[in-house]
Amino acid sequence: MPCKLSVNVNAIAYLRNRRDLPWPSAVGLSRLALEAGAAGITVHPRPDERHIRGTDVTDINRLLRSSFPGAEFNIEGYPDERFLRLVEAEKPDQVTLVPDDPGQATSDHGWDMAANAGLLREAIARLHRGGMRVSLFVDPDPARPAEAKALGADRVELFTGPYGAALEPENARRELGRVVAAGEAAARAGLGLNAGHDLTRDNLPALVAALPNLKEVSIGHAVTADALAYGMAETVRKFRAAIGDV
């Protein structure tokens, strides 16, 4: 099956929150993305609600369940009690656990699974009891997927920030090689594979071609930026073409 696109709407909510106004609407633009063929929506509700708010999570979940029952809802976050209670209430299709400090601007590294084994094993088991698939956000290191599998994860999401930031061709080839090695290790470990961070229409085709086991890419910043030029629906169609989901 082709790789699928999950649209991260954090940046849309961040723009909305600059004013005490209801637009741009994270729900409305999620609808446009799904109507254009996005396979799902991703949100990362942080404790300070600087972008996605708890009400957004509920409203987007309601949109998906009522109007797009085949689409997937992916909620990202650090597995503290607040977050775990939120996802237990909303029951998304996938929960992606990330090691973010609450003050981080964005996710910029994967889990140290040896140091956080107890926390992650307990959280994964709890989420599985709620019927949710669990993905762990990991650095592009071939050792990480086997560690995630041992903790009970269903998937890993590879942090592709260094690949996305590698604008010089030689650096891009080197970083792509790291991502591919980790993705191949995920296949050997029997894990599903996701990827995300600084992925664009320019760097996606090489990634998807090199990793036929890649199931999902979660993209927010580049989708939002392109939507300013092309509109959300046309942007989603362009990204779907970039990953071969046509």
CATH of the domain at 93: 3.20.20.70
* 44, 157, 175, 216: the active-site residue: 44
For the chain, list residues with pLDDT below 70: 102-107
Separation of alpha carbons 11 and 33, rounded Å: 14
Give the pLDDT score at 103: 66
CA distances to 51, 102, 153, 191 from 14, rounded to whole Å, are 4, 16, 30, 32
Separation of alpha carbons 19 and 112, rounded Å: 37
* Residue 236, C-beta contacts closer than 8 angstroms, at least 6 positions apart: 5, 7, 32, 33, 36, 37, 38, 223
Separation of alpha carbons 201 and 227, rounded Å: 12
User: Residue 46 sits in which domain range?
Assistant: 4-242
* 72, 90, 157, 197: the active-site residue: 197
| Tally of domains in the chain | 1
Half-sphere exposure of 200 (CA within 13 A, CB side): 14
Q: If you average pLDDT over every residue of the chain, what do you get?
A: 96
- For the segment 70-111, what is each residue's pLDDT rounded down to a tens digit? 999 999 999 999 999 999 999 999 999 999 876 666 667 899
* 51, 72, 76, 90: the active-site residue: 76
Give helix 117-129 / helix 144-151 axis angle, nearest 10°.
Answer: 50
Give the pLDDT score at 1: 80
* Distance in angstroms between the alpha carbons of the first and the last residue of the chain: 11
- For the segment 196-205, what is each residue's pLDDT rounded down to a tens digit? 999 999 999 9
Our answer to whether residue 197 is catalytic in this structure is yes
In the numeric block, the tokens 């790789």 are attached to 3
Our answer to whether residue 76 is catalytic in this structure is yes
